[in-house]
């Protein structure tokens, strides 16, 4: 004689990252879906085999646990290492922390999104590095700009000196970069010698004095001397040597 056997719904679909609990795939049999660690179940966990040979509802999905956006303190740079699933802030995401220039990282260097939906790892903190006084350089003054980060310091040579090289240094990790300039004393060109005149000068550097005189039979008319100025030019008009006038005999 014929037998009446329960309808079978067949082996259920196994969504990615899930486990099926239960082996009764026949009419009125129940199975339960469970997600592996790091995934949350989305949908109905328990399915029942119906009389028409289909499961009562579609199988659920297992979606990655999300830790949500992490807290990023000021001046911290976060570099995300996203897992293969390609979802930012999901289970398996890791973050490497660095600091903006002029700051040093204190605290955690890494955080990882764990299966419980929490970021694990010490919170990062970026501490500003200030450099204090800038190096003293010969024949120059220096001005530190506190309005920019990283700090910078600009040098200016004293009057009569010319700056050769770079006038700016930068604060890096609490230390000033090495100054790469010199202040060189300005030089004036050779002074002009007037017609029938003589000149006495020991140097052509800034502040030097050139003294004028005339050869025998001529007299000096004008400034007896000129000075090498801060513009690298002799300051003062060049005198003239005029013939001596004996007057009417």
Residue 163 in tokens: 């700056």
pTM of the model: 0.55
CATH architecture of 197-243: Ribbon (2.10)
Q: What is the sign of the dihedral through the CA atoms of 170, 176, 180 and 182?
A: positive
How much is the pLDDT for 246?
83
Residue 101, helix vs strand vs coil: coil
Give start-end residues of each CATH 2.10.70.10 domain in the chain: 18-64, 76-128, 197-243
Mean pLDDT of 212-221: 95
Alpha carbon of 232 to those of 19, 113, 229: distances in Å?
88, 67, 5
Using CA atoms, how far apart are residues 112 and 74, in angstroms rounded to an integer?
20
Q: Say if CB 50 and CB 56 are below 8 A apart.
A: yes
User: pLDDT band at 88, cuts 50/70/90?
Assistant: confident
User: pLDDT band at 33, cuts 50/70/90?
Assistant: very high
How much is the pLDDT for 104?
86
Cross-strand bridge partners of residue 175: 172
How much is the pLDDT for 21?
92
Q: Residue 113, exposed/middle/buried by CB under 10 A (0-12, 13-18, 19+)?
A: buried
Residue 184, helix vs strand vs coil: strand
More confident: 245 or 241: 241
Residue 25 in tokens: 């795939």
Neighbouring residues of 210: CB distance < 8 A, sequence distance ≥ 6: 191, 199, 200, 201, 225, 226, 227, 228, 234
DSSP state of 188: P
User: pLDDT band at 25, cuts 50/70/90?
Assistant: very high
How much is the pLDDT for 215?
96
Residue 113 in tokens: 């999104």
Q: Say if CB 97 and CB 76 are below 8 A apart.
A: yes
Residue 88 in tokens: 């930012």
How much is the pLDDT for 248?
79
Domain 18-64 has CATH 2.10.70.10: yes
Using CA atoms, how far apart are residues 205 and 186, in angstroms rounded to an integer?
6
What size, in residues, is the chain?
A: 249
**Burial readout 152-167 (b: 16 or more C-beta within 10 A, e: otherwise):** bbebebeebbebeeeb
Mean pLDDT of 29-50: 94
CATH fold of 76-128, please?
A: Complement Module; domain 1 (2.10.70)
Mean pLDDT of the chain: 92
Place of tokens 């300005």: 186
How much is the pLDDT for 124?
93
> pLDDT tens digits, residue range 160-184?
999 999 999 999 888 999 999 999 9
> pLDDT tens digits, residue range 89-145?
999 899 999 998 878 898 899 999 999 999 999 999 998 888 889 999 999 999 999
């Amino acid at each position: 004689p014929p037998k009446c056997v329960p309808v079978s719904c067949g082996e259920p679909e196994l969504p990615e990252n899930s486990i099926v609990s239960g082996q009764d795939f026949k009419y009125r049999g129940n199975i339960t879906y469970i997600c592996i660690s790091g995934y949350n179940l989305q949908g109905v966990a328990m399915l029942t085999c119906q009389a028409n040979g289909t499961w009562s509802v579609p199988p659920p999905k297992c979606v990655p646990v999300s830790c949500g956006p992490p807290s990023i303190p000021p001046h911290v740079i976060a570099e995300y290492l996203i897992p293969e699933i390609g979802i930012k802030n999901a289970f398996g995401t890791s973050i490497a922390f660095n600091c903006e220039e002029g700051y040093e990282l204190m605290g955690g260097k890494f955080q990882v999104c764990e299966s419980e939906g929490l970021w694990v790892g010490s919170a990062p903190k970026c501490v500003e590095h200030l450099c204090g006084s800038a190096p003293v350089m010969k024949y120059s003054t220096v001005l530190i700009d506190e309005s920019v980060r990283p700090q910078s310091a600009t040098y200016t040579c004293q009057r009569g000196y010319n700056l050769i090289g770079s006038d700016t240094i930068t604060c890096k990790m609490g230390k000033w970069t090495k100054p790469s300039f010199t202040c060189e004393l300005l030089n004036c060109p050779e002074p002009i010698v007037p017609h029938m005149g003589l000149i006495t000068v020991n140097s052509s550097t800034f502040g030097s004095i050139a003294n004028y005189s005339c050869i025998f039979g001529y007299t000096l008319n004008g400034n007896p001397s000129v000075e090498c100025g801060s513009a690298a030019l002799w300051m003062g008009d060049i005198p003239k040597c005029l013939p001596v006038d004996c007057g009417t005999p």
